[in-house]
Amino acid sequence: MSVGQAIPTMVGEPPDDELQQRFLYEMLLIRRFEEKCAEMYTRGKIRGFLHLYTGEEACAVGAINALRDDDKIVTHYRDHGHALARGVEPNRIMAELFARVGGTNEGRGGSMHIFDVSRNFLGGYAIVAGHMPIATGLGLAANLSDEDWAALCIFGDGGVGEGEFHEALNLAAIWKLPVVWFCENNGYGMGVPFDDSLANDVYKIAASYQMPSVRIDGMDVLEVYSATQLALAHVREGNGPYFIEALTYRYRGHSMADPELYRTKAEVEEYRQRDAIQRLKRSMIADGLIDEPTYQALVAQVDAEVDEAVAFADASPEPGLHTLYDHITKEYEGESG
């Protein structure tokens, strides 16, 4: 695929039936989890900033399912969906949002900073584009260790205006590092429309760093999966980084505090008509992979999991005040690393 090509044709391994079932399940899990989060936020169970991922599910599910277990992910602060797609337990994510000891980060991180090292999920980062140089460093580590794992860096279109975007891409390009840059372009940097923010299209800006750069439909999970597979194959072969701009849309405001004065309800409705979950559901029904009753059963299963996550989080204790100073630094035991 050439540099700067806009919409790729479908390539790579087409997802088999089982994988499509998984995509549907994971997108539904994210959707219902996030809707539950909104409810828990209004009930005061979740505090701080809460950025919900509804509408963008196809990005996380398509991209992350293309990874191997030993690939590493860093992402931005709208990170629940990515964590769920990576297999981080919903119970532990919800407990983190509830700020409890059973949370992924023992209640120290919150919504924007989910970590799960056991899944090579190396964090949500809340300073826009601040994690992009870290992805470069992960790619550098992969190269220095002569291993063929790759780094996936997920960020939003808002990150493209930051200097760290450009430094990170440039370093990855000159050092030919195995990093897949995955831009979730949801059209707005908080409330400022994309068109008022950048002098060029995202994938064209990235292409100027001499890496393959494609724009894809981020509301089509099959396309996201295929494009990411292709990107991973490219970076694993030592060809340097690869850039994907996925066009997507968030249904809710930037955060729960957003009054959404900058867009119309009609616009949101327009995108809801293109919903990734409904799209996959329709095609799976057409292919005879599911029918309406099995779909409803899946929704019920997901809802039960989300309810279980809430129950788990609620039952988990708050961290004791005596643990305030835990984890400021790792203890030195006379060994390095």
Partner 1 sequence: MTEMRMRDAIREAMREEMLRDERVFLMGEDIGAYGGSYACTRGLLDEFGPERVRDTPISESGIVGAGVGAALAGFIPMVEIMTINFSLVALDQIVNNASKLHYMSGGQVNVPLVLRMASGGGSQLGATHSHSLEGMFAHFPGLTVVCPAFPGDAKGLLKRSFREPNPVVFIEHTALYGARGEVPDDPDHLVEFGQAATVRSGKDVTLVGYSGSVHQCYRAADMLAEEHGLTADVIDLRTIRPLDMSSVIRSVRRTNRAVVVEDDWKFGGFAGEIAAQIMERAFDWLDAPVARVAGKDVPMPYNRNLEYAALPSEEDVVEAVLSML
**Site residues (vs partner 1, CB under 8 A):** 72, 74, 103-109, 113, 115-117, 122-123, 125, 127, 130-142, 144-145, 151, 163-164, 167-168, 170-171, 174, 326-332, 334-337
For residue 181, the surrounding DSSP H or E stretch is: strand 179-185
227 residue type, one letter: A
Shortest CB 102 distance to partner 1, Å: 11
Shortest CB 330 distance to partner 1, Å: 4
- The CA distance from 90 to 101, in Å, is 14
Q: What is 100-135 written as a DSSP string?
A: -TTSTTTTSS-GGG--BGGGTEEEE--STTTTHHHH
189 neighbors 156 (Cβ within 8 angstroms): yes
- The CA distance from 180 to 74, in Å, is 11
Shortest CB 182 distance to partner 1, Å: 16
226 neighbors 14 (Cβ within 8 angstroms): yes
Number of CB atoms found within 10 A of residue 174's CB:
11
Number of CB atoms found within 10 A of residue 220's CB:
22
Q: Tell me whether residue 213 is exposed, middle or buried, using C-beta atoms within 10 angstroms of its C-beta: 0 to 12, 13 to 18, 19 or more.
A: buried
Nearer to partner 1, 196 or 331 (CB): 331
Structure tokens that stand for 327 in this block: 């984890």
Shortest CB 82 distance to partner 1, Å: 15
Q: What is the DSSP secondary structure assignment for residue 294, as one 8-state letter? A: H
For residue 154, the surrounding DSSP H or E stretch is: strand 151-156
- The CA distance from 65 to 48, in Å, is 30
Number of CB atoms found within 10 A of residue 143's CB:
15
Shortest CB 112 distance to partner 1, Å: 9
Nearer to partner 1, 23 or 98 (CB): 98
Shortest CB 327 distance to partner 1, Å: 4
Shortest CB 262 distance to partner 1, Å: 26
Nearer to partner 1, 166 or 274 (CB): 166
Question: Tokens 């992979």 sit at which residue?
Answer: 289
- The CA distance from 195 to 295, in Å, is 38
Shortest CB 141 distance to partner 1, Å: 3
